Amino acid sequence: MWKIRRWSCLTLCLSIFSFSAFGQGAIDSLTTKLETASDSSELMMIYKALGDEYFNQENDLKALETYEKHLQISLAREDSFNILSGYFNVIQPLIYLEKLPRHLEIAREGFDYALKFSNLKYQVIFGNEIGVLYRKMGLGDSSIVYLNSALEASIVLKNKGYESFILENLGNTYSNQGDFIESIQSYLAAQKIYRESNDHKSLQELEYNLGVLYKKIGEYGKSMDSYKEVLQYFILQNDTTYIRGTLHNIASLYQIQNRLDSALIYATKSAKLEFNMDDLCNSGNSALLGRIHLGLEQLDSAEYYLNKELSTMENCNSKFYYSPAKSALGEIYLRKGRLEQSEAYFKESYNYAIANNYQEDIIESSKGLFQVYLAQNDYKKALTYHRKFKNAEDSLLNLDNTRKIAWLEANQRMNYLADSLEFERQLSETKLNAEINSQKVKRRTIVFIATTTLIIAGVWFYFLQKRKQIRHNEQLAKEREEGLQNVLVATETERSRISKDLHDGVGQQLSAIKLAMSDIMGKVEDSAKPQIAQLNDLLTRSAEEVRTISHQMMPRALVDHGLIEAIDDLLKNSFTYSEIEYEFEYKNIYSRFGERIEITIYRILQELINNVLKHSNATLVNVQLYKTGNQLTLLVEDNGDGLKHDKPKGHGLQNIKSRLTIVNGKVNFETSQGTTVFVSIPVDK
């Protein structure tokens, strides 16, 4: 049977503690404060806050370690409040870590201190926790003692939330004990509280437990009705924990009735909702799927799922499905003719079942051993296990008959109690109706006026603030965009001016000086000509450098001939004297684009080529420029090392994004084998 993990302390005490969640920064800050704590009181509170942080981040081992340090200081200080809350805190990670012995030890120590300090609230919390743990351990009598103690304390506290929760846990324990009358009385008492408080979720959880109870006494039809009602509710609530558990139990019912195809469908659906190790530890779906496949004679699949369940139990430090899983594997190996393996698995199942008094598993494993020894012609052992099988079967039959008699008595009692509760409810309603009706109109009017006023004021204030925030954000974005645009436009204008001055002014003057030097060279003596020649070479290099700077500031090819020739010229100048080869393709480019768009494309390509030369270690660069519809696309691809994770945040690549903002363009970087950059800018068709 699938087990629902009920976070009893957390459910009961949501109002006691609130947890902060500031992440790793808070952990680092609190760890630093530990070193500077002035006294044990401050140290105690830091450990508490640090434990909360670890717990919120699901680091349960660190949370446990830190909460235990908080508890040790609290005990040393004899601080009753922090002692009780400290035990409560330690329990939280233990729930998730499933350290049952330590969990029980802490809960019992907490309960003893709650009695010592006469704290009823914590008597409820720890008493309920201990009762649930004892039920998990199969110690039903001890579970009932602690749950009844917690129930008495909750009644004194007059807390219906605690009371109903403990009543339901008592019902579960009595159900496990086979005491159906007490189980139903507890369930009905909890059901009454849930109905009075309109707690629909808890009502459905209670219905789930009734489904378990019906299954135990063979009322499979009623059990199925309960499960399907629960399933519909929790599907609407999108509660995957209960959906998964209910699907599992429906599959189990179908398997018991040998409707294996339906069982396989529901078990598979349940298994698909296992999202983490905690789900696997609590579901038992692999064991169920193994037994279904065994019934369908799909032995290899059955073996796979049963071994998977055994592995899961080992990882979870649990043996909940150990005996039936071992027995089923024994049956698989028996059918495969591997008798020694079959005998070993059946014996492990039998010994575990005997140690824990699991009658159904004793029957299954002893019957399996009887069949194994019969196949081995060991008739003496076969006869021994046949007798054990029959004795266990007779014991279970007697137990089933006792359960059915108890169920009939319980059913009658349930009907009587239900009728009594209904009569009591109707009588109370009749007495209250007159008083309720007399105040209803006044109350509704007051509530309506107050609510309407608050809603109107709230909505008006919300939209007013929202509109102010939107306008403020729009203004900031507009100013930021205009400022960026003005800077880049001014930069390009200044570049163009400087380029023109260099080309038309300094460049022409240098050319004129060079001509004059050539003329002088023919008129001077031969001894001075080498010096004149050196000066002439220096002038030539200076003129060339001025020309290069002028073209970098504003390429003449871009101004005079457009993007295609400018890009071709840029690629030649950049890669001709390097070891990098390049390819350049263009498509559907039949006319010039706006000056701003052409400058943007050119500057972005300059930046990308600069990146390739400095950082990429590439040997091949592919550049494509093409127009599709109203989109102009630049693609630059290299076979280098690819961008590092932090590269897209560098200044050069930020400049690319800034330039594209002005022309409403977009850029996308892809890195795998090398780097690929896509730049897209909208243009007129």
> Mind listing the pLDDT tens digit for each residue in 98-128?
788 899 999 999 999 999 999 999 999 999 9
Q: Compute the average pLDDT of residues 433-451.
A: 73
Among 171-175, 521-525, 665-669, the range scoring the smallest mean pLDDT is 521-525
Instruction: Please give the pLDDT value at position 279.
Output: 58
**Weakest mean pLDDT among 287-296, 358-367, 622-631:** 358-367
pLDDT at 485: 59
Token pair 């409560």 is found at 88
pLDDT at 335: 93
Report the pLDDT value the prediction gives residue 223, as an integer from 0 to 100: 87
pLDDT of residue 182: 84
Among 295, 231, 287, 290, which residue's Cα sits nearest to residue 260? 295
Dihedral sign for Cα 636, 641, 642, 648, please. Answer: negative
* Tokens of residue 380, six digits: 């003496």
Confidence band of 264 (pLDDT split at 50, 70, 90): very high
Region 229-315: CATH code: 1.25.40
Count the Cβ atoms, other than its own, within 10 Å of residue 245.
28
**Alpha-carbon distances, residue 61 vs 55, 96, 304 (angstroms):** 9, 10, 32
What is the pLDDT, as a whole number, of residue 491? 64
Q: What is the pLDDT of residues 658-667, one digit of tens each?
A: 888 888 899 9
- Of 3.50.50.60, 3.40.190.10, 3.30.565.10, 3.90.45.10, the CATH number of 557-682 is 3.30.565.10
Q: What is the rounded distance in angstroms from the CA atom of residue 73 to the CA atom of residue 659?
A: 60
Contacts 24+ apart (CB under 8 A), 17-21: 17/85, 17/88, 17/89, 19/52, 19/55, 19/56, 20/49, 20/52, 20/53, 20/56, 21/53, 21/56
pLDDT of residue 5: 33
Helical ranges in 238-358 per DSSP H: 240-256, 260-271, 277-283, 285-295, 299-316, 322-336, 339-356
SS3 624: strand
pLDDT > 70: percent of the chain:
80
CA 342 – CA 333 distance, rounded (Å): 5
Query: pTM above the 0.85 mark?
Result: no
Is the pLDDT at 280 greater than 70, yes or no? no
Average pLDDT of the chain is 81
pLDDT band at 557 (very low <50, low <70, confident <90, very high): confident
Confidence of residue 289 (pLDDT cuts 50, 70, 90): very high
- Confidence label for 421 from pLDDT (cuts 50, 70 and 90): very low
Confidence of residue 291 (pLDDT cuts 50, 70, 90): very high
Alpha-carbon distance of 140 to 357, in angstroms, equals 14
Highest mean pLDDT among 119-123, 379-383, 445-449, 615-619: 119-123
Give the pLDDT band (50/70/90) at residue 471. confident
List own/partner pairs for 155-158 with CB under 8 A and 24 or more apart. 156/120, 157/120, 157/121, 157/124
Residue 465 pLDDT: 87
Question: In the chain, what are the domain boundaries?
Answer: 17-98, 229-315, 321-392, 441-554, 557-682
Which pLDDT value is given to residue 418?
46
Contact 271, 285 (CB under 8 A): yes
How sure is the predictor about 31, in pLDDT bands with cuts at 50, 70 and 90?
Answer: confident
**pLDDT at residue 34 greater than cutoff 90:** no
Are 326 and 307 within 8 A, CB to CB?
A: no
Given pLDDT bands bounded at 50, 70 and 90, which one contains residue 529? confident
pLDDT at 482 over 80: no
pLDDT, tens only, 533-550: 777 777 777 766 766 666
Q: What pLDDT score does 305 carry?
A: 92
pLDDT digits (tens, 9 = 90+) for 295-337: 999 999 999 999 998 888 888 777 778 888 999 999 999 999 9
- What pLDDT, on the 0 to 100 scale, is given for residue 548? 65
Output the pLDDT for position 15: 36
If you average pLDDT over residues 348-359, what whole number do you get? 85
* Band (396; pLDDT cuts 50, 70, 90): low
**Bigger pLDDT: 130 or 517?**
130
Same fold, 229-315 and 321-392: yes
- How would residue 350 be classed by pLDDT, with cut points 50, 70 and 90? very high
Mean of the pLDDT values across residues 17-42?
73
CA-closest candidate to residue 68, choices 35, 106, 117: 106
Question: Directed axis angle between helix 140-157 and helix 120-136, to 10°?
Answer: 160
**Distinct helix (H) and strand (E) counts, the chain:** 27, 5
Least confident stretch, 22-31, 297-306, 363-372, 512-521: 512-521
Helix (H) or strand (E) holding 153: helix 140-157
pLDDT at 576: 84
Class at the top of the CATH hierarchy for domain 321-392:
mainly alpha
d(CA 351, CA 195): 46
pLDDT of residue 33: 86
pLDDT of 156 strictly over 90: yes
Q: pLDDT (tens digit, 9 = 90+) per residue, 121-133?
A: 999 999 999 999 9
pLDDT of residue 176: 78
pLDDT at residue 398 in the model: 55
* Contact of 212 with 249, CB cutoff 8 Å: yes
